[in-house]
Amino acid sequence: MKFTDGYWQMRPGVTPHYPAQVHEVQVGPDALTVYAPTRRLRGRGDTLNLPLLTVRLSSPMPNVVRVQLWHHKGSRPPRPQFELKPQPAPPIEIHDDEQAATLTSGRLTARVLKAGDWRIEFRDGDRILTSSGWRAMAMLDTPEGRFMREQL
């Protein structure tokens, strides 16, 4: 699906909602869940009439990080859906401090920065492999329906 005319301009009828900042992080035994509002929150009133995106990081196998994005998850199964070969849960490390929350599987680390604009870095040790920065991840409302997008 094409959402833009060129690189910057949205097509008519397309409304993007980008995660703007990390609002809350929840650490679970097998996943890291991040709640991200679609604009910066300066006070309680900023949370009204504002989409909240949920980003869940987990690992289905060693050296792999699964990223799931949703808004109002609901009960219908997601599509498309691909079966993964079942494997025992890999050992993962999850850390949450004032600067960032991280999930590490094998050599691969997903690092969610808490301060400033929205950013997830995917690292091999100290080397950044790729990242999802400002306006890279989005929920898009279109005349055809709602879509999720990621540009690494």
Tens digit of each residue's pLDDT (9 = 90 or more) over 60-69: 989 999 999 9
φ/ψ region of 18 (left if φ > 0, alpha if ψ in -120 to 50, else beta) reads beta
Phi, psi of 116, rounded to the nearest 5 degrees: 80, -160
Tell me if 130 sits within 8 A of 123, measured CB to CB: no
Looking at residue 46, the DSSP 8-state letter turns out to be G
- SS3 (DSSP) at 47: helix
Query: In this model, does residue 117 exceed pLDDT 70?
Result: yes
Return the CATH number of the domain spanning residue range 14-150.
Answer: 2.60.40.1760
Per-domain boundaries in the chain: 14-150
Using one digit for the tens of pLDDT, what is the confidence trace for 27-40? 999 999 999 998 88
pTM over 0.75: yes
